[in-house]
């Protein structure tokens, strides 16, 4: 995608990853509805529309995939929290729509950025 300015701060890295993920999704035709939507202590990184589908996108950003791929960090406990927050989102906005859960992995290393988008990364189970 392009050259990346080095960043040492974790928050800056996360913001850069989320910005990059949002730009990527928009380039694929998604409409971003919300970013960093909160329900109590739970957060949805990106909520978007893909056609008629409501898509909850968890963004994982790393400077290396040496220890684990960013997508591997979305374990069962995190999935449960995302489903609970998505349910609150749907109720809050009184939506009657299908919800899909995607993961966007962003790896920023050696001045470059790589994005992997996993649609239907997991299915909601409570």
Domain locations in the chain as residue ranges? 10-122
Inter-residue contact 21 to 57 (CB < 8 Å): yes
Span 15-49, pLDDT tens digits: 889 999 999 999 999 999 999 999 998 999 999 99
> Which CATH number is associated with domain 10-122?
3.40.1350.10
- Nearest by Cα to 15 from 34, 36, 32, 29: 36
Q: What pLDDT tens digit does each residue of the chain (126 aa) get?
A: 444 444 445 668 888 899 999 999 999 999 999 999 999 989 999 999 999 999 999 999 888 755 666 567 788 899 999 999 999 999 999 999 999 999 999 988 888 899 999 999 988 875
pLDDT above 70 coverage of the chain, percent: 84
pLDDT at 61: 87
| DSSP 3-state of 120 | strand
What's the rounded Cα separation, in Å, for the pair 97 and 31? 15
| DSSP 3-state of 41 | coil
pLDDT at 117: 95
The H or E element spanning position 37 is strand 31-39
What's the rounded Cα separation, in Å, for the pair 33 and 29? 13
């Amino acid at each position: 995608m392009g050259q990346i300015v080095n960043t040492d701060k974790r928050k800056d890295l996360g913001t850069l990853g989320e910005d990059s993920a949002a730009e990527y999704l928009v380039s694929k035709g998604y409409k971003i509805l919300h970013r960093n939507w909160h329900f109590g202590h739970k957060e949805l990184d990106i909520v978007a529309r893909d056609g008629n589908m409501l898509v909850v996108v968890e963004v994982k950003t790393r400077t290396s995939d040496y220890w684990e791929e960013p997508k591997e960090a979305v374990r069962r406990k995190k999935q449960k929290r995302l489903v609970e927050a998505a349910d609150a989102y749907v109720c809050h906005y009184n939506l009657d729509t299908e919800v899909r859960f995607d993961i966007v992995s962003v790896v920023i290393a050696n001045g470059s950025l790589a994005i992997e988008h996993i649609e239907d990364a997991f299915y909601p189970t409570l």
